[in-house]
Amino acid sequence: MLIRQADDIRPYEITPKSLYLGRRELMTGGIAAAALAMAPGDPAWATALEARKGPFSTDEPQTRRADVLSYNNFYEFGSGKDDPAANAASLTTAPWSVEIGGLVAKPATYALEDLLKPATLEERIYRLRCVEGWSMVIPWIGFPLADLISRVEPLGSAKYVTFETLVRPDEMPGQRGLFQPLDWPYREGLRLDEAKHPLTILAVGMYGETLPNQNGAPLRLVVPWKYGFKSIKSIVRIAFVEAQPKTTWEEMASHEYGFYSNVNPEVDHPRWSQATERRIGEGSGLLAKRRPTLMFNGYGDEVAGLYAGMDLRANY
Amino acid sequence: MGGRPTADDLQSPPPNLPHRGGGARLSWLGPGSWALYALGLSPGVWTFYLGLNDQLGADPLKVLERTLGLWALRFLVIGLAVTPLRKIGGPNLIRYRRTFGLLAFFYALFHVVVYVVLDQGLDVSAIVADIVKRPYITIGMVAFLILVPLAVTSNATMIRRLGGHAWQRLHRWVYLAAAAGALHFIMLLKTVTFEAAFYAAAVALLLAFRLVGRRPFNPLRR
């Protein structure tokens, strides 16, 4: 369990508000003209990223970029599917820092640039299956989380990794007002062996460019064999812990969302079936056909071994 | 369900309730109703049109399905609001109530058709499994099935055949249909949204009005 201490200082608290506000004004001023010409939700500041081809990529047709940018669950920007594209432009993603702590030999707060410096970016084309019953195929750009983990040297007692999303109500409208659907910060977690699995990446881009805000800029997790909500967005904090952490959705409704949340067509969500999914953009418009959902989202050959002997019905 | 009197209307029966021995004939389409049907159905038609032209975003089917369901719920709420509105001194829309009710039914019907044909692709076993195993679908289906006999009896012939009292009792089932519809909406979401909470509160308030209305508050009445 991640115990929050009273003297916790978040990275964004270290930067004085006046400073980052000032920077934001500069940025918005600079991009205002460019933004006028952009489609809604299309990030003005996207820059091209160099990446070599990585392993595990599927050759299935990729989901249209416009759909991936406009159909999002990112409750910090609102609970509607189109809220993130409409609201995420206000998020300042530079400067960005990630605090890495807990049971590690080298705890540190990294500026994003320093975190990325030793990383070799790869393109990984993965299936993404949302717990709601839809799926996409997305060409991510990122690097294995395992690389970062080995750099910070987890202690022998570290068994789990926890992640937290940014809390910044003045830039994230879903974190303001009366109807806040979740308890912030959004928290996720993986078992250490899941985190170190070669399929698990930290992504900084997609479709050859830096991540749009609504897709979790500037740094997000991608765990392709688990339901999409495990792939936490806009990470500001990573911690190594001994006990299995409580995740946001698990705390929200533990009988519906478990810690593991592996894609599993045989274990239904209590309120809906997980046997099939609608692949976004497949078929034409209203005639979208359902397709069978694959065990571990089709990554069973790679990850089934992680759960050998485990009852996946009990550990949903 | 339009045009049905409720407990609240006993002292003031709807103006178009048929009288024995021939009064004003209650037509299926009352005055002004054509315009209301056209207006009421236009959001559904428009959404369907957008869907055909790939203008509904990444998951057009879901948008169509949700929009139709939401309009069914909206017209149920509007229909339930007619009597309270009149009682608190608002306009008397009783002559349109049947239209509101039938619009709710049509939207519910389109919603179910889209679910069965486009969403589930007529996969009978998946649909039956959904209805049996998923409480939110069970509840939604109950709401729809309640609306069917109400829609079928929303005409003068059926009112006459059933008799005012039996017809009235039958149409009180709309209370359950609306409650089930609101619950169905809340239950299909991952978290309770403002929108879903709004409709649940509206239905709860309108049903509570009926309960309060039954109490003899005013000893001078009756």
- pLDDT tier, A285 (very low <50, low <70, confident <90, very high otherwise): confident
For residues B194-222, average pLDDT: 82
Beta strand A235-241 with A160-165 is: antiparallel
- Mean pLDDT of the region B125-138: 92
ipTM over 0.85: no
Residue B49 pLDDT exceeds 70: yes
Contact assignment for B59 to A134 by CB distance below 8 Å? yes
The DSSP secondary-structure symbol of B148 reads H
Report the C-alpha gap between B162 and B203 in whole angstroms.
Answer: 28
Q: Residue B213 has what pLDDT?
A: 67
Closest residue of A to B134, CA-based? Answer: A271
What's the whole-number mean pLDDT along residues B88-114?
Answer: 95
Q: A229, A258 in Cβ contact below 8 A?
A: no
Give the pLDDT confidence score for residue B219 in this predicted structure: 56
Contact (CB, 8 A) for A12 and A112: no
pLDDT band at B39 (very low <50, low <70, confident <90, very high): very high
Q: Where are the beta strands (DSSP E) in B36-189?
A: none
* Contact status of B109 with chain A (Cβ, < 8 Å): no
Q: Which residues of A touch B54 (CB under 8 A)?
A: 284-285
CB B13 within 8 A of CB B146: no
Place of tokens 């993603």: A93
Find, in chain A, the residue whose alpha carbon is nearest to that of B127.
Answer: A273
pLDDT at B218: 57
Q: How far is A36 from chain B (nearest CA, A)?
A: 21
Under 8 Å between Cβ of A185 and A165? yes
Helix axes B135-152, B97-113, angle to 10 degrees: 130
Report the distance separating Cα B210 and Cα B214, nearest Å: 6
Residue of A nearest to B120 (CA): A290
A237 forms beta bridges with A99, A164
List of chain A residues whose C-beta atoms are within 8 Å of the C-beta of residue B59: 71, 81, 134, 278, 280, 288
What's chain B's average pLDDT?
86
DSSP code of residue A95: S
Distance of CA B127 to the CA centre of its chain: 23
pLDDT of residue B172: 96
Which residue do the tokens 């009180």 mark? B172
Indicate whether B171 pLDDT > 80.
Answer: yes
Please state the rounded mean pLDDT for residues B59-85: 96
Contacts from A37-43 at CB under 8 Å and sequence distance 24+? A39/A66, A40/A70, A40/A85, A40/A86, A41/A69, A41/A70, A41/A84, A41/A85, A41/A86, A41/A88, A41/A89, A41/A212, A41/A214, A42/A69, A42/A212, A43/A89, A43/A210, A43/A212, A43/A213, A43/A217
Mean local confidence (pLDDT), A73-82: 95
User: What is the Cβ-side half-sphere exposure of residue B20, based on CA atoms within 13 angstroms?
Assistant: 4
The pTM is what? 0.82
Kindly give, in sequence order, each residue whose CB lies less than 8 Å from that of residue A55, ignoring residues fewer than 6 positions away: A122, A124, A198
- Identify the band that residue A178 occupies on the pLDDT scale cut at 50, 70 and 90: confident
Neighbours of A10 (CB within 10 A): 17
pLDDT for residue B26 = 47
Reported as half-sphere exposure (CB side, CA atoms, 13 A), residue A46 has a value of 22
CB B179 within 8 A of CB B199: no
Q: Measuring CA to CA, which residue among A285, A229, A281, A237 is closest to residue A259?
A: A229
Degrees to nearest 5, angle at CA B47 with B44 and B52:
125
Taking CB atoms and an 8 Å cutoff, what residues of chain B touch A272?
Answer: 130, 134, 136, 188
pLDDT of B152 over the 50 cut? yes
Predicted pLDDT of residue B51 = 93
Tens digits of per-residue pLDDT, A201-232? Answer: 999 999 999 999 999 999 999 999 999 999 99
pLDDT of residue B30: 58
pLDDT of amino acid B31: 61
Residue B118: DSSP 8-state: I
Confidence of residue A13 (pLDDT cuts 50, 70, 90): very low
| CB-based contact, A67 to chain B, within 8 Å | yes
Instruction: Inform me whether the C-beta atom of residue A271 falls under 8 Å from chain B C-beta atoms.
Output: yes
A269 in contact with chain B, both atoms CB, cutoff 8 A: no
Choose among A299, A7, A270: nearest CA to A127. A299
The least confident of A4-8, A263-267, B89-93, B204-208 is: A4-8
- Considering only alpha carbons, which residue of chain B is nearest residue A131? B190
B54 part of contact set with chain A, CB < 8 Å = yes
How large is the average pLDDT for residues B181-202? 94
Whether residue A273 and residue B134 make contact (CB cut-off 8 A), yes or no, is yes
Q: Helices then strands (H, E): number in chain A?
A: 9, 13
Q: Is the pLDDT of residue A266 over 70?
A: yes
Structure tokens at A55: 């392993």
Chain B residues lying within 8 Å of A181, measured CB to CB: 191-193
| CB of B193 less than 8 A from some CB of A | yes
Q: Check whether A186 has a pLDDT greater than 70.
A: yes
Instruction: Quote the minimal CA–CA distance from A15 to chain B in Å.
Output: 33
SS3 category, A128: strand
Q: What is the pLDDT of residue B217?
A: 54
Number of H-type helices and E-type strands within chain B: 9, 0
Q: Which residue of A has its CA nearest to B115?
A: A286
Q: In the predicted model, what is the mean pLDDT of residues A185-191?
A: 98
Q: What pLDDT was estimated at residue A47?
A: 87
Nearest by CB to B58, which of A179, A252, A280?
A: A280
Cβ-based contacts of B53 with chain A (< 8 Å): 285
Q: How far apart are CA B40 and CA B102, in angstroms?
A: 10
User: CB-based burial of residue B219 (10 Å sphere; 0-12 exposed, 13-18 middle, 19+ buried)?
Assistant: exposed
DSSP string, B78-114: HHHHHHHHHHTT----GGGHHHHHHHHHHHHHHHHHI
Amino acid (one-letter) located at B35: A
